[in-house]
Chain A
Amino acid sequence: MNSCRILIVAALLMLLFPMTVAGVGTTNVTIGVNGYIVLNNDIYIELLDVGSDMGWSAQVHFYSYQDSVGTKKTLYIGDIPTSYTSGSGMTTKVTLDSVFSNGASFVIESSKKLYVTDRHAGEVETESVTVPKLTITRTIDPNAAEIGQTVKVTLTIKNTGNGTATDIMLDEGTIAKTYKDGCPSTIDDIAAGATKRIEYDLKIGDDAQSGTREMPASVLNYKGESSDSYSTQSRSSVLTIIAETVLLPEMTISIDPIDYVVTCGDNVPMVVTITNVGNATSEKVYVKGDLPLGVRLKGGELEPVYESVKPDKSEEYEVTLVANEEGKHVVEMKVMWADEEATAVFEFWAEKSGLEKYYIYIIAAIPILLILLWIIKRRREYSY
């Protein structure tokens, strides 16, 4: 059954009534799956299903007005006729003649003249056809990735039908701000039983939104040999988009402690280090210094400006301060970049200079010393 031509018998909702069946007590009927016919307003013959597992078969439900339960029988082509007697005593013998993809035709004999008094449904393939049946599964690997990364999407398409799938159109689901690379929209025919694997890259765009995102199902539209259209779809998938590590400059400032206790008037070296501990280059880095009263800048530039500081890079500079007044001094240094700032504080004690400390004593001692020297001189002058 390679060349498949499917004959669809239209289901007639209503036929002429009464309908004369050719030959006394014998008639040919075709019933679609889930359809039924009523014979002589008494016997119902309903086609439940058709199968091809152990030879072509049809499952039929016989019942009648007075036998609403009826019997269910599976009829095989070539079997002996299956008989059913209705509740009112009318007996029919039914033989399975042929099976279609969704219907079957039977030969019904009876001692009475048979009329099909009612008929329901019926897409009946009047001919035995080949039907493709595709299934599609999708995997995303890895299923969690950062923004900017690319993941691999694998589509596995399997034809479980008995016919070749043709004109396969792939309608792949999309996550906003992700970009497919190498995803086909049409797929070559897939023979019955064959499996096709399609791989493509999915790049997560820079502007993609992070979080757990659902990728709608991949939908396959395809046709069989008889140009019938079919459709199948995969399950939807989940891709976790991890927010990308933000690239920002981050400056720190530190002041190397040199001397905590200094002497008034002496040089106080201060080494200022600013470091970009962020992951992006910082443009225009300003340093501002706030000297307290009693401390002045003696050398070096207190407030340099750096055009750019690369990540993990430091800028170091030294200035010389001089404390004029004794006591605790707090120098505040600030580094400023892109609307942000960081502060470091340098504390030190200034003590009176050695001289200054003893100033009063020295002042007091000088005249005493002079007087002493004078007295000694005089003493020597007058001692013999």
Chain B
Amino acid sequence: MLNILVLGLGQCGNRILDAMNREAFGRGGAFAKYYTRQKFPASVKTIAINTAINDLKGLVDTRAKDRLHVPHLHGVGANRTLGKRVFEDNKEIIMSEIDKRGTFDLIFIITSAAGGSGSSFAPLLVRELKETYTNAPVICIAVLPFREEGSIFLQNAAFCLKDLVEEKPAGVLLVDNQYLKKYAGDIKSAYDKINTTTARRLLFLIEALNSEMLMVTDLGDLKTVMNGGIGIGTMGFYEASKDSTIKSAILGSLKPSGLLFPTNVYKEGARAMLIIKGDKKYLDLDLITKTIEELSTEVGQVFKGVLIQKGRPRVLSLFTLNSVPELEKLYATAAEAIRFEKERQNQSKSQLDSAFSHIEDLEPIY
């Protein structure tokens, strides 16, 4: 059994982690935690880490002892510089808390790239974890902000991703709030939906990695996939409808509608992993093999795993990309925002300076 550590950083990371914990209770609804135990598909340890105690308090299905408060008032206010300092100050506490959970074969870090705490902690944590758990691949799930959330979030996302990639984790999987906004009308339910979707896909992946599969994928395959391209990727998912063939299900998992981040897999995909679960009667192994062979010509290396399980075929795709146009757009926007911000700041500064110049050489008279 795989020992897996899942760390949720910042409000966003915490809540996706909480969603994973909730999913692990099965279909029990809000009261499941009162009468049943979590059933993770592997030995999963979760820790929610945050500087804002209120965010931790808002969690529902994560055990209290799995919530680690890194004391710094109520968050770092999206200030990544401050966040980095707070992490350095509390590194020992965080690492020892992780250490209590034993050793790991695989580590996930879930965070928003846009916030303060999570986005500043994540790269540093990658470094620390890589040092401590040399054999465990560290995969980051980075959530990109809504584009209209403001320049600071955009800047943060830009710098965070940069920092992350520089720390060379096993891979970065992108989840784009902006892209997934379509799920719901209001932000709150969009969050919930995005969190749940992300959580389910991670658990799906974990289950596959931990299981004896008909066609094998393992941690090594995962590493290889995550190593492909620029080391950044995302996930897709498809659940077959009644009459669809396994082929259409596999291809469905690569369709934009099922992705967590907008990309053209066929164009930009570097390496992929397809995990197929479903009732044996649906799983035509020849067809699966054939389909994947076809895919490989376009996407590059495609690993596959087949897991016999009740129900219709479900397919999770996980891949890395050679190029990320959407990211480029994001960086451009971020750079513009930074420049604009800088200009505004300078403007304000000179305005204030000229204002102050009026009273230069004057003393208040009482």
Instruction: Give 1 or 0 for each of A128-169: 1 = CB within 8 Å of chain B CB.
Output: 000000000000000000000000000000000000000000
Partner of A381, one of B35, B56, B57, B64: B64
Within 8 Å of chain A (Cβ to Cβ): is B63?
Answer: yes
Considering only residues 38-91 of chain B, those with a C-beta below 8 Å from chain A are 56-57, 59-65, 67
Closest CB in chain B relative to A376 CB, distance in Å: 10
Report the Cα distance A375→B30, complex, angstroms.
13
Q: Kindly list chain B residues whose C-beta atoms are within 8 Å of the C-beta of A380.
A: 64
| A374 close to B64 (CB less than 8 A) | no
Counting chain B CB atoms within 10 Å of each CB, the highest count among A374, A375, A378 belongs to: A378
Of listed A378, A381, A382, A383, residue having the most chain B CB within 10 A:
A382
User: CA of A380 to CA of B33 in the docked complex: distance in angstroms?
Assistant: 11
Number of interface residues of B (CB under 8 A): 13
Q: Which residues of A contact B (CB under 8 A)?
A: 374-375, 378-384
Q: Give the shortest distance, in Å, between A80 (CB) and chain B (any CB).
A: 162
Distance in angstroms from B317 CB to nearest chain A CB is: 33
Cβ–Cβ < 8 Å partners of A375 in chain B: 34
Inter-chain contacts of A384 with B (CB < 8 A): 56-57, 59, 64, 67
- Please give me the residue from chain A that is nearest to B32 by CB atom: A378
Compute how far the CA of A379 lies from the CA of B61 in the bound complex, rounded to whole angstroms: 10
Q: Which residues 296-346 of B sit at the A interface, judged by CB distance below 8 A?
A: none
Asked whether B33 lies within 8 Å of A382 as measured between CB atoms, the reply is yes
Report A-chain residues with C-beta under 8 Å of the C-beta of B65.
Answer: 381
Query: Chain B nearest CB: distance from A380 CB in Å?
Result: 7
In the complex, A381 Cα to B36 Cα: how many Å? 13
Nearest A residue to B63 by beta-carbon distance? A381
Question: Which B residues are in CB contact (< 8 Å) with A381?
Answer: 63-65
Q: List 12 A-B contacts (CB under 8 A).
A: A374-B35, A378-B34, A379-B34, A381-B64, A381-B65, A382-B60, A382-B62, A382-B63, A382-B64, A384-B56, A384-B59, A384-B67
Measured CB to CB, the nearest residue on chain A to B64 is A384
Residue from the set A374, A375, A383, A384 with the largest chain B CB neighbour count within 10 Å: A384
Tell whether, in the assembled complex, residue B61 and residue A382 are in contact, meaning their CB atoms are under 8 Å apart.
Answer: yes
Could you say which residues of chain A place their CB within 8 Å of the CB of B59?
384
Cβ of B64 and Cβ of A383 under 8 Å apart? yes
Q: Which residues of A contact B63 (CB under 8 A)?
A: 381-382
A384 to B63, CA, bound (A): 8
- C-alpha spacing A290/B64, complex, angstroms: 67
The docked-state distance in angstroms from the alpha carbon of A382 to that of B60 is 7
Given contact pairs A384-B57, A384-B59, A378 touches B64 in the complex (Cβ within 8 A): no
Are B33 and A378 in contact, CB atoms less than 8 angstroms apart? yes
Can you name 16 extra interface pairs (CB under 8 A) apart from A382-B33, A384-B56? A374-B34, A378-B33, A378-B34, A379-B34, A381-B63, A381-B64, A381-B65, A382-B60, A382-B61, A382-B62, A382-B63, A382-B64, A383-B64, A384-B57, A384-B64, A384-B67
CB distance from B125 to the nearest CB of A (A): 21
Chain A residues near B33 (CB-CB < 8 A): 378, 382
B61, closest chain A residue (CB) = A382
Q: How far apart are B351's CB and chain A's nearest CB, in angstroms?
A: 46
Nearest chain A residue, comparing its CB with the CB of B53: A384
Using CB atoms, name the residue of chain A closest to B67.
A384
